[in-house]
Amino acid sequence: MKIAAVLAVSITVACLAHTGLSAQNQQQEKPKSVEEMAAEQADLLGERLGLEYWQVFYVDSILTANFKGMEEDIKRLGESRVSMESIYFEVQDRWAEKTDSAFMKLFNEEQWKKYMSSGARKAKKERDRRAKERMQSNLELQERMGEGKL
């Protein structure tokens, strides 16, 4: 499975697990904590990218912090009863960009190329496409407001 896809799924699962599914999960198997998921992903990246032990430590720290940050943002949206899917994607995209930015500083050139070719490039293109669509939508809205059509 592609690393970026695994990261995205892990992030989504973490957020959903902590935002309203707790009653169901008390009867079933307890979901993995953010820390456990971050550690698993860090180990996976360490193996696939040939990371040094200290890099795996930093990857784990980055993922833990970013998973928790995204989880908090999504929880706030849920508590505010936000139902627009695009807003949740925007939050997920923002945290994925922060993660990629931190990884780019941490990895050497060869590791970064492996990371990008493992699915991160495709995920980045999807985030860029959604950002472009949001920008276009905002411009259209501003134009309509300026024309008095709203």
Q: How many distinct structural domains can be found in the chain?
A: 1
Q: What is the DSSP letter of 84?
A: -
Tell whether 62 is covered by a domain.
Answer: yes
Which residues lie closer than 8 Å to 67 by C-beta, 6 or more apart? 10, 11, 14, 34, 37, 38, 95
Tell whether 111 is covered by a domain.
Answer: yes
- Predicted local confidence at residue 16, as pLDDT: 45
Alpha-carbon torsion, ordered 35, 39, 44, 50, to 10 deg: 140
Tell whether 24 is covered by a domain.
Answer: yes
CB 111 within 8 A of CB 51: yes
pLDDT tens track, the chain, 150 positions: 455 555 555 555 444 444 444 445 455 788 999 999 999 999 999 999 999 999 999 999 999 999 999 999 999 999 999 888 888 999 999 999 999 999 999 999 999 999 999 989 999 999 999 989 888 888 887 888 887 766
- Predicted local confidence at residue 83, as pLDDT: 87
- The CA-based diameter of the chain, rounded to the nearest angstrom, is 59
Tell whether 15 is covered by a domain.
Answer: yes
Tell whether 65 is covered by a domain.
Answer: yes
Query: How far is it, in rounded angstroms, from Cα 69 to Cα 71?
Result: 5
Full residue range of the structural domain in which residue 115 is found: 3-120
Tell whether 127 is covered by a domain.
Answer: no
- Predicted local confidence at residue 19, as pLDDT: 45
Tell whether 53 is covered by a domain.
Answer: yes
Tell whether 150 is covered by a domain.
Answer: no
Amino acid identity of 108?
Answer: N
Q: Give the tokens for residue 51.
A: 């990371």
